[in-house]
Amino acid sequence: MTETIAAAVNQALAKNEVEAERLANRVRLLFLCAVAALALFNAPAVTKESNRYNFGALGAAFLFGGAVFVHLKTRGYRPALKYITSFADVTMVHIVLLLYTRDSVASVALKNPVFYVVYPLIALTLFRCHPRLTALTGWYTVTLYCGLFAYVASRVPPVWSDYMTELFDARVAVIAQLTKILILIAYVLVVSFLARHARALLHLLVRDEVTARSEKEAMERELELASQVQAQLLPGEYPRVEGLRLHGTIIEGRFVGGDYYDFIQLSPHSVLLLVGDVSGKGVPAALIMAGVRASARLSASLNAGLEELVFRLNEMLYESTPSTSYLTLFAAEIDTGAGTLRYINAGHPPPLLHTLDATCALASGTAPLGLFPALAGLRAYCEPFPSGSLLVACTDGVSERSNPAGEFYGLGSLRSFVERNRHLDCPDFVGLLLKEVRQFGADAPLEDDLTLAVARFDPASA
């Protein structure tokens, strides 16, 4: 992880340098346009010689900026370019100031406002987030100005006087120039500190981004694994019982959960239907459900009754899972020979049983499994399951699907759908119900899996 972060930081800094150089050059050209406008405005007030210096330097600066622009477009960025452009900027300013020493009064070079251009030029280096570049450019500027001061002092001896002399006299006041240099040094120190801070901040942002991306990729891998585990839990083929039509499906939501359904054949005329939902999401929930499936199928193969199967599942979950984990489960034994349905609802959303013209919710049962060492009042409940009966079981991803107004699809809507579409074949019934549930949520991404298991008893179609 550390190597990945370091590589990502270096890559981000390299990319930032390229973008910063382009940005700095655009700023340079815009700044030159502003200076050119100011020079034109002041042209009548200065000498022809000064105008020649000003516009000559501006022309050279524009040519330089254009050359940098073309270089970036045609040849791309080179790391050394940031030093060349930064040093060239402040060098050109000092060349202009040096040319002013040829004017009638050499001291005008130290008093000319052109000098203050160096401050934004040094600030331009901050775009690169490169402390060394900022520091070198700053100290190079200090060195150039000190050299200019020494050169002017050799021609016009400075005086130890107050600031008034600097402002209103042709002579150069040492105290004023030292103050100017100290301000420049302080500015360089501050900008260098900001450059270090900017680089540290960029490093932190990139590190956080890489960490977040790694966590996201890990989560996606976990969700993909959970999806694979969940898919392996589903029955490969449905039991064959004369007159009984079975169909189930799971539509994965944004977060893979512990939804599960299963059909287990108990005899030539009976089937065990299971629909469950483990608390939590991702691989942990999927692995718990894998254990539930294995335990349920083992109990069914040993001819355990419905009560014993649920008892064993509760015991297994209570002993082998965290105290915060639990399973809601609907288990039903459908016997087409006897025309009955025996069921236990362990804290699961009540399935709907439609027989003839009546629809009832199968809510009777016990607490969710895995929370308590024993289940109070554990027993199976029996309902008639004659010809034409339809059983619809789902997880809370269906009943708790919400619309933009925050309303749940709910048991009432499910009951209405069952009564309107009870005549449909099981696959068509499930497909249409899932379509309605998704449309109820305005086709928003699924927050939870949509799981359905349907059983229809229709001997006439056998």
Q: Is residue 220 part of a domain?
A: no
Q: Say what the pLDDT of residue 9 is.
A: 67
Q: Say what the pLDDT of residue 353 is.
A: 96
Residue keyed to tokens 């360089």: 188
**Domain shared by 87 and 42, yes or no:** yes
Q: Is residue 189 part of a domain?
A: yes
Q: Is residue 225 part of a domain?
A: no
- Is residue 350 predicted with pLDDT exceeding 90? yes
Q: Say what the pLDDT of residue 244 is.
A: 94
Q: Is residue 119 part of a domain?
A: yes
Q: Say what the pLDDT of residue 182 is.
A: 94
**Domain shared by 126 and 273, yes or no:** no
| Domain with 381 in it | 235-461
**Domain shared by 337 and 404, yes or no:** yes
Q: What is the pLDDT of residues 440-449, one digit of tens each?
A: 888 887 777 8
- Is residue 163 predicted with pLDDT exceeding 70? no
What is the pLDDT confidence band of residue 230, given thresholds at 50, 70 and 90?
low
Q: Is residue 349 part of a domain?
A: yes
Instruction: Please give the C-alpha separations between residue 5 and each of 19, 129, 199, 220, in angstroms, as whole numbers.
Output: 21, 18, 15, 20
Q: Say what the pLDDT of residue 1 is.
A: 56
The residue from 156, 180, 212 where one domain ends is 212
**Domain shared by 354 and 288, yes or no:** yes
- Is residue 256 predicted with pLDDT exceeding 90? no
**Domain shared by 196 and 247, yes or no:** no
Total domains in the chain come to 2
**Domain shared by 306 and 207, yes or no:** no
Counting Cα atoms < 13 Å in the Cβ hemisphere of 266 gives 22
Of 211 and 301, which is predicted with more confidence? 301
Q: Between β-strands 450-457 and 390-394, what pairing exists: parallel, antiparallel or unpaired?
A: antiparallel
Q: Say what the pLDDT of residue 381 is.
A: 95
Instruction: Please give the C-alpha separations between residue 365 and each of 184, 292, 297, 350, 369, in angstroms, as whole numbers.
Output: 82, 18, 21, 10, 11
**Domain shared by 100 and 199, yes or no:** yes
Mean pLDDT of 371-395: 92
- Is residue 394 predicted with pLDDT exceeding 90? yes
Q: Say what the pLDDT of residue 28 is.
A: 75
Q: Between β-strands 270-281 and 365-366, what pairing exists: parallel, antiparallel or unpaired?
A: unpaired
3-state secondary structure of 352: strand
What is the pLDDT confidence band of residue 72, given thresholds at 50, 70 and 90?
confident
Q: Is residue 124 part of a domain?
A: yes
Mean pLDDT of 155-171: 71
Report the b/e string of 99-112 with b at 16+ CB within 10 A.
bbbebeebbbbbbb
**Domain shared by 78 and 205, yes or no:** yes
- Is residue 168 predicted with pLDDT exceeding 70? no
> Per DSSP, what are the bridge partners of residue 366?
346
**Domain shared by 186 and 264, yes or no:** no
DSSP secondary structure letter of residue 444: P
**Domain shared by 198 and 263, yes or no:** no
Q: Say what the pLDDT of residue 109 is.
A: 77
Distance of CA 92 to the CA centre of its chain: 46
Mean pLDDT of 258-287: 88
CATH number for 239:
3.60.40.10
Q: Could you give the percent of the chain with pLDDT greater than 90?
A: 36
Q: Is residue 203 part of a domain?
A: yes
Q: Between β-strands 365-366 and 340-346, what pairing exists: parallel, antiparallel or unpaired?
A: parallel
Q: Is residue 222 part of a domain?
A: no
The residue from 180, 212, 244 where one domain ends is 212
Burial class (CB in 10 A: 0-12, 13-18, 19+), 357: exposed
Q: What is the pLDDT of residues 232-247, one digit of tens each?
A: 767 878 999 989 999 9
Q: What is the pLDDT of residues 183-200, one digit of tens each?
A: 999 999 999 999 999 888
pTM of the model: 0.60
The Cα–Cα gap between 255 and 398 comes to 15
**Domain shared by 284 and 150, yes or no:** no
Q: Say what the pLDDT of residue 169 is.
A: 67
Q: Which of 5-14, 155-164, 251-260, 330-339 has the lowest mean pLDDT?
A: 5-14
Burial class (CB in 10 A: 0-12, 13-18, 19+), 44: exposed
**Domain shared by 207 and 241, yes or no:** no
Q: Say what the pLDDT of residue 416 is.
A: 92
- Is residue 457 predicted with pLDDT exceeding 90? yes
**Please, are residues 392 and 400 in contact by the beta-carbon 8 Å criterion?**
no
Of 431 and 97, which is predicted with more confidence? 431
